Structure 1
Amino acid sequence: MASSLQVIALISGGKDSLFSILHCQQNGHTIVALANLYPTRCTNDDEDINSYMYQTVGHSVIPLYEQALNIPLYRQEITGKAVDSSRDYETPRADQEQDETEDLVPLLRRVMQAHPEANAVSTGAILSTYQRTRVESVALRLGLTPLSYLWQYPLLPPYTQTSLLHDMAAVGQEAIIIKTASGGLDETFLGFDVASHRTIGRLGKAISRFGESSNGAILGEGGEFESLALDGPSPLWKKRIRIEPGPPGVMEGGQAVLKIQSSTLENKQEEDSEALETLRVPELFDSEFNGALKAMEGGIDTQSIISDDATLVNAPFGSSAASNSTPISEVLPKNTSCDSPTVFTYSNLTSERCSSSAHGSPSRRLTKIFLRLDHVLTQWRITKASINHCTLLLRTMADFTVLNPIYGQYFSHVNPPARVTIAVGDAMPEGVDIMLSVVADKEDKDRKGRAVRAVQRQGLHVQGRSYWAPANIGPYSQAISVKLPTNEEKSEDQELYSGEVVYVAGQIPLVPASMEVYHEKGFRGQALLSLQHLWRIGQVKGVRWWTAAVGFIPASGTPEEQVRIAQEAWKAIHTPPSNASLGTDGEDDEEEEADIDPWDRLNRNHASTFNDTTYRSPTPDPTSISDPNPNNPNTPLIPPCFIAQVHSLPRGVDIEWSATGLTSRTIHFSQHPTTSSSTTNLTITTPTTSRSRFYTLEIRAQTDIDVLRRLGEDKSVKDWTSATLYVGRGFEWSGARKMNLRGVQWIPCVRVWGKGQGG
């Protein structure tokens, strides 16, 4: 287990903030203090100020939590208001009006002064990016690790919206509804335990009538209701809270609030010291990845899924492979820019070459690279915030810890670029220790310079620990998406949905809850867990198809087994299971039927059906492909996958996955053999409503270079807007210096393997 953190728990009195404390304890952390913000006292006795950020209704009960949990409580009045209502929160300037989020800063500072050991803060955010990004912003500014163990909870196994409520009931947490603010809920819901079977049934019936059954409404995530926790398992709760309710208050818009006349503490009748052991922690692997892991471990013949012979695509070819030939890394260009109407790239940036460390430390060299980048961006009138993806190449991963803070100072905006970081060792050009490549997306403009397509940049930048995917405690986003340029066939009054391109950061096998490297199940486990991170990020961003994937593995003497496993994992997760139904069998259904609350059994046949299953968008989605496999319609199409062996990876892991996704509703995907081989080593992926094309080519022979050159001369391709060339040692071709590589970043590798797909 990871080292224990000393946690400040932000509480509102609601079910989620208190339940999150239990998960902090379950993960080995210690709660040192409670923190709460409360509204200014009103003359009309209205407890609720309708804050966008904080739950304020029921705040008069909050002081009792200090004795109920036997944890010191710190409180502060809310003085700000919702100034910044954007989804992603940016630290306000000194001259801006104070946002209510900033009230957290003095409160947490006061707690940290009283508890200098505090180094983390917990929150109960489930689906609200608005809340999560604000707590993360404040926490990281104060040097606190954000903990959001309930984040994306309904999207985790068992994939039901009510799993959180059932888990609360299982450990004995009681939280009553004290406010309703939805057309489907009224004052009759007030005072009911939100996690009881009867209440869950009533909530499901009510929200399904108003078409709110799939957006977290049953958890109150859309503000449908507020709750107040009164009791819980004994390891946390030392006493329970009893309230004396008054008549409900009905407000404007149909809102209803439970008036609390008085509240007191009661001793708990019995203590169950093992109650926390029954707290369910979501399984690490999703069902499809767990199935793939079992299939790969044995018991299921995987030969129908994977070919054993991966293709080594970087064997030397060309005029000769003489030992005195110039290394390809010395031939390929550096510090090259390419500007197209929609994309700007600057590839393989370096500082001046150094023959010894006396010419500058790695941090100084990275600083010079950023100065060069700044100069070029200024020339092309492009901002840093337009950069959506970066590739950071290091000679040695030992420099990473020193360089990361400098990198973070440069990309300090709200959603920094997605990033891939690898160390390439001696494959780096002589005298070069760092190379950086960037991709910036631009507005599409007409001939008169008027913008006809906004980039519409959206970031996914989760910085808190959870059970979902690794936190980005660093200067990069999990993913950045931008709108693709539309094709030129639309009429003037028609706005086509072209979809988005999604840049995903390199994913390594970290256990999300602890941020520790996953070591169980060996390389298979690491390959599938990091691939699952890619999948979960893709699902949140709406990815329907991957243009291609690259799995980086570190240097070793015999990498062939790791190559086979990595490609097997990629293909296995794209291959539907033999049993298409992943649901429960009839016996489980009977058990569920027997467990239905009598109220729900009586009323469910007279109401709209509530679908408790959480919708998870299929990634990739084969229905988005406009043309199925013409040779074998029953064989699933699989995006190309490459395995590149480099020197080392972050945290010393055994694999890092990198991929780019598309969200377009309809995509044309085609595979073609080249003259060098009968296998399909050229793929073309085209969103049908966009003029963008994505090419993938395995370069195995000189003839493939000719294919690459012909693609570049295609009349639909004015220039490569961005491309990546993975170059293995010994790889060379005649005329490399003459080839146009503008817009191409290259990554020096030890060896590179191709898709390994049959013809």
Structure 2
Amino acid sequence: MKFVALVSGGKDSCFNILHCLAQGHELVCLANLYPPEEDNDEIDSYMYQTVGHNVLSLYEKCIGKPMYRKPILGSSSNQNLEYNKTDNDETEDLYKLLSTVLENHPDVQAVSVGAILSSYQRTRVEDVCSRLGLTSLAYLWQRDQGELMNEMCQSEMEARIVKVAAIGLDETNLGMTLQEIHPTLLKLNKMFGVHICGEGGEFETTVLDAPFFKYGKITIVNKEIVKHTNDDVWYLKIKVGFEAKTPRIAEIKDWSDFIVEPPLLTETFQALYDQMPVLDIIDKEISIVSKNVWTWDQNVYEQDELIYISNLVSSDESVEGQIIDIFSKLKEILIDYKLDFPNIQSSKLLVNDMANFANINSIYVKYFTKPLPPARICVETNLPKGIHAQLSVVVLKDINSKNGLHVQGRSYWAPCNIGPYSQAISDKNSGIMRISGQIPLIPKNMELSSYDKVLSSVLSLQHYDSIKDVTGYKHNLLTICFIKNESLVEIVSNLFEEYISISDEDNKSTKNLVIVQVTQLPKNADVEWGGMCYRENNQYISYESDSEDEEDIKKLVKVSYIDTLSDFKFEDKDVFYEIYGNPEKLTQIRTQLGEFCKYEIFPVVQAFDKVSRNGSKISIVEIR
């Protein structure tokens, strides 16, 4: 893609440009926001680095690409982590800047941004990109800071310290190169937890030269140390000059020579992949059962601070008509409870034919326009005859308990979510997080993995784990694995067993796994992982627990597998049931579900017992 690089002059924004170039993207121009007062180097912006901003005046000459600059006129009016358009906020200055870029370069498709850990910065850039139809490229996002600093020091990028604001750093460190200050940062990180890349605001840098500086580099002509109003903060006021150099761009055959691309699998998941048994995987033809002519009852169940709205379908003849009708029904139920669409924590969208997904999604997206849309699982499966889609949602009564992760920029970390769904949405009241279905996409380019099925299964599970890790919800409560072909049952079952043994070995409840076969997955993927997790400080109490302290019991989840009606009784009025099975099996339990029983029906090709690997069962998930 052709991209504009947001540059502050700092190491992160410049190093991300190198990664964008290494991924084959084309740098078209640069963009920068600067303090409105020329002599004011430090305005304490929540969003933008401003120290050393005068250096940016020479970037156009050094790089040979046009630079677009605008003053920062707004303030930090909206300090919420998730950003919504807000008048007089400094984020709107970025919107105006990138709008100007698009007016002059309508072929620009993406924006390079150097965010590493700052969700505050990331969400604002992504909001602006979303409004302008651009893709955020953030290849430093969630990278290990120790590894990243090592790579920066070896990248032929000259970056010097222009501001310090951390214990152990003072005015004597100003002007140092990254290579010179690196040992000190390692020491301070070990002693005091100082961020090696300065992500806690410990220091800021100015890049004077980089491999993509084609025509010249910047020299410091004069410098003055300035003490900030805070006693422990110093920065440099610098005057700079331009030093021409022989253009070297023709020498650069491969931009990847200047960066280190992290491996597709982390060390942990590479080890999981390496120990998977070599199996002779033979795809079996999917046996599509004849589709039934009946539909399940619409269900609404209020459970503490949650509302389960399940099995929403429509009899309208057209695909579009059914989706509009389904959402009309959902809206009416939400209004009855004095709630709205932002209260929805997660959704399961079942479609009869994935070819209709684009039409369905174009309507779905209109109902989720606020930050943090619900986590979503979407699969093609055995819906009743004439039913194009079925929707079930979990709704939070308390919107203030909602939190989550919605990363929309490309990185090496995990797939971005550009559509109307978040990677995960948590409920602070229950301590439970629901994670969207994860398929084996390659994060850096969002292409579906073409590797073998075992590696693809490991990769998509790694994406699931990455979301758990970054959110802190590291303990499994319920994991659902959707597969397209029965040949993957043994692979994903073995993989999950090994994964649990290393990721959550002290928690017996993590063995809750449901494996189901469906007819199609997004992008024709072979496997998709989704589920529910919880934080360590929300202790999960198993069904066998002797604890009588109800305050300790946040959620209870139990998975059962049945063959016949006599194997299970739906007798508990305080439990919500998720029921997975092929339509013929589900028909058998239809009369057994009493009026009091609240449930979500998930018709599939087959449901598998992870122990016996035997299909044609019914998987029943009890959520207490």
Report if TM-score (shorter chain) is over 0.5. Answer: yes
Q: Does 1:667 align with 2:522?
A: no
Partner of 1:116: 106
Could you tell me whether the CA contact under 8 Å between 1:171 and 1:275 is conserved in 2? no
Task: Give the secondary-structure state (helix, strand or coil) at the position aligned to 1:296.
Answer: coil
Could you tell me whether the CA contact under 8 Å between 2:216 and 2:242 is conserved in 1? no
Partner of 1:547: 477
Could you tell me whether the CA contact under 8 Å between 1:149 and 1:465 is conserved in 2? yes
C-alpha distance in 1 between matches for 2:544 and 2:24: 50
Amino acid at match of 2:266: D
Q: What is the CA-CA distance between 1:249 and the residue it aligns to?
A: 0.9
Partner of 1:173: 157
Partner of 1:265: 243
Task: Give the secondary-structure state (helix, strand or coil) at the position aligned to 1:367.
Answer: helix
Task: Give the secondary-structure state (helix, strand or coil) at the position aligned to 2:73.
Answer: coil
Could you tell me whether the CA contact under 8 Å between 1:484 and 1:690 is conserved in 2? no
Q: Does 1:384 align with 2:341?
A: yes
Amino acid at match of 1:220: G
The correspondence of residues 441-456 of structure 1 with structure 2, limited to 5 A, is 441-443=396-398, 456=401
C-alpha distance in 1 between matches for 2:480 and 2:274: 23
Q: What is the CA-CA distance between 1:412 and the residue it aligns to?
A: 1.0
Partner of 2:41: 47
Q: Does 1:346 align with 2:219?
A: no
Q: What is the CA-CA distance between 1:754 and the residue it aligns to?
A: 1.4
Q: What is the CA-CA distance between 1:54 and the residue it aligns to?
A: 0.6
Partner of 2:621: none
Q: 1:206 aligns with which of 182, 185, 188?
A: 188
Q: 2:210 aligns with which of 202, 213, 232?
A: 232
Partner of 1:702: 565
1 or 2, which has the higher strand percentage? Answer: 2
Partner of 2:321: 364
Task: Give the secondary-structure state (helix, strand or coil) at the position aligned to 1:730.
Answer: helix
Amino acid at match of 2:152: M
Task: Give the secondary-structure state (helix, strand or coil) at the position aligned to 1:524.
Answer: helix
Could you tell me whether the CA contact under 8 Å between 2:504 and 2:510 is conserved in 1? no
Q: What is the CA-CA distance between 1:461 and the residue it aligns to?
A: 0.2
Partner of 1:128: 118
Partner of 1:35: 31
Q: What is the CA-CA distance between 1:64 and the residue it aligns to?
A: 0.8
C-alpha distance in 2 between matches for 1:172 and 1:132: 26
Residues 320-357 of structure 1 show CA distances to partners (whole Å, capped at 9, x for unaligned) of: xxx9xx97x65663321112332101101112x24xxx
Partner of 1:622: 505
Partner of 2:420: 475
User: Larger C-alpha radius of gyration, 1 or 2?
Assistant: 1
Relative contact order, CA 8 A, sep 6+: which one is greater?
Answer: 1
Residues 441-485 of structure 1 show CA distances to partners (whole Å, capped at 9, x for unaligned) of: 234xxxxxxxxxx86211100000000000001000000011244
Amino acid at match of 2:556: R
Residues 584-641 of structure 1 show CA distances to partners (whole Å, capped at 9, x for unaligned) of: xxxxxxxxxxxxxxxxxxxxxxxxxxxxxxxxxxxx4334x3xx7xxxxxxxx75132
Could you tell me whether the CA contact under 8 Å between 1:640 and 1:755 is conserved in 2? no
Task: Give the secondary-structure state (helix, strand or coil) at the position aligned to 2:456.
Answer: helix
The correspondence of residues 453-532 of structure 1 with structure 2, limited to 5 A, is 456-485=401-430, 500-520=431-451, 522-532=452-462
Could you tell me whether the CA contact under 8 Å between 1:8 and 1:35 is conserved in 2? yes
Q: 1:652 aligns with which of 524, 529, 539?
A: 524
C-alpha distance in 1 between matches for 2:405 and 2:207: 31
Residues 234-275 of structure 1 show CA distances to partners (whole Å, capped at 9, x for unaligned) of: x55432111123231112112111121333233259775257
For structure 2, the 5+ residue unaligned runs are 282-286, 614-624
Partner of 1:255: 233
Partner of 1:570: 496
C-alpha distance in 1 between matches for 2:550 and 2:12: 41
- Bigger shift: residues 128-137 or 199-208: 199-208
Q: 1:144 aligns with which of 123, 134, 144?
A: 134
Partner of 1:334: 297
Could you tell me whether the CA contact under 8 Å between 2:112 and 2:137 is conserved in 1? yes
Partner of 2:514: 642
Partner of 1:748: 603
Distance 1:575 1:348, change over 3 A: same
Partner of 2:221: 244
Q: 1:726 aligns with which of 544, 560, 580?
A: 580
Could you tell me whether the CA contact under 8 Å between 1:687 and 1:693 is conserved in 2? no
Task: Give the secondary-structure state (helix, strand or coil) at the position aligned to 1:76.
Answer: strand
C-alpha distance in 2 between matches for 1:105 and 1:118: 14
Residues 41-71 of structure 1 show CA distances to partners (whole Å, capped at 9, x for unaligned) of: 25xx331111111111111110211121111
C-alpha distance in 2 between matches for 1:65 and 1:729: 64
Task: Give the secondary-structure state (helix, strand or coil) at the position aligned to 1:657.
Answer: strand
The correspondence of residues 402-421 of structure 1 with structure 2, limited to 5 A, is 402-421=359-378
C-alpha distance in 2 between matches for 1:49 and 1:90: 23
> What TM-score does the superposition give when structure 1 sets the normalisation length?
0.75
Amino acid at match of 1:201: P
Could you tell me whether the CA contact under 8 Å between 1:392 and 1:419 is conserved in 2? yes
The correspondence of residues 572-611 of structure 1 with structure 2, limited to 5 A, is 572-576=498-502
Task: Give the secondary-structure state (helix, strand or coil) at the position aligned to 2:497.
Answer: helix
C-alpha distance in 2 between matches for 1:511 and 1:373: 34
Q: Does 1:395 align with 2:352?
A: yes
Could you tell me whether the CA contact under 8 Å between 2:218 and 2:240 is conserved in 1? no
Q: 1:71 aligns with which of 42, 47, 65?
A: 65
Amino acid at match of 1:701: T
Partner of 2:11: 15
- Bigger shift: residues 166-175 or 661-670: 661-670
Q: 1:288 aligns with which of 248, 264, 268?
A: 268
Partner of 1:449: none
Residues 122-153 of structure 1 show CA distances to partners (whole Å, capped at 9, x for unaligned) of: 10000000000000000110011111111001
Residues 392-433 of structure 1 show CA distances to partners (whole Å, capped at 9, x for unaligned) of: 010000111122122111011100000000011xx2112211
Amino acid at match of 2:606: R
Q: What is the CA-CA distance between 1:742 and the residue it aligns to?
A: 4.3
Task: Give the secondary-structure state (helix, strand or coil) at the position aligned to 2:342.
Answer: helix
C-alpha distance in 2 between matches for 1:657 and 1:226: 40
Question: What is the percentage of aligned positions where both structures have the same residue?
Answer: 35
Distance 1:183 1:435, change over 3 A: same
Task: Give the secondary-structure state (helix, strand or coil) at the position aligned to 2:84.
Answer: coil
Amino acid at match of 1:189: N
C-alpha distance in 2 between matches for 1:403 and 1:380: 26
Could you tell me whether the CA contact under 8 Å between 1:337 and 1:346 is conserved in 2? yes
Residues 490-515 of structure 1 show CA distances to partners (whole Å, capped at 9, x for unaligned) of: xxxxxxxxxx1010000011000000
Amino acid at match of 2:427: V
Q: What is the CA-CA distance between 1:212 and the residue it aligns to?
A: 2.6
C-alpha distance in 2 between matches for 1:269 and 1:236: 9
Q: What is the CA-CA distance between 1:10 and the residue it aligns to?
A: 0.5
Partner of 2:84: 90
C-alpha distance in 1 between matches for 2:8 and 2:445: 25
Task: Give the secondary-structure state (helix, strand or coil) at the position aligned to 2:408.
Answer: coil
C-alpha distance in 2 between matches for 1:277 and 1:433: 46
Q: What is the CA-CA distance between 1:228 and the residue it aligns to?
A: 0.4
C-alpha distance in 1 between matches for 2:587 and 2:163: 71
Partner of 1:277: 256
C-alpha distance in 1 between matches for 2:450 and 2:11: 34
> What TM-score does the superposition give when structure 2 sets the normalisation length?
0.91
Q: What is the CA-CA distance between 1:691 and the residue it aligns to?
A: 4.5
Distance 1:108 1:697, change over 3 A: same
Residues 671-707 of structure 1 show CA distances to partners (whole Å, capped at 9, x for unaligned) of: 89xxxxxxxxxxx9x998224311211122323222x
Could you tell me whether the CA contact under 8 Å between 1:179 and 1:227 is conserved in 2? yes
Task: Give the secondary-structure state (helix, strand or coil) at the position aligned to 2:149.
Answer: helix
Amino acid at match of 2:523: R
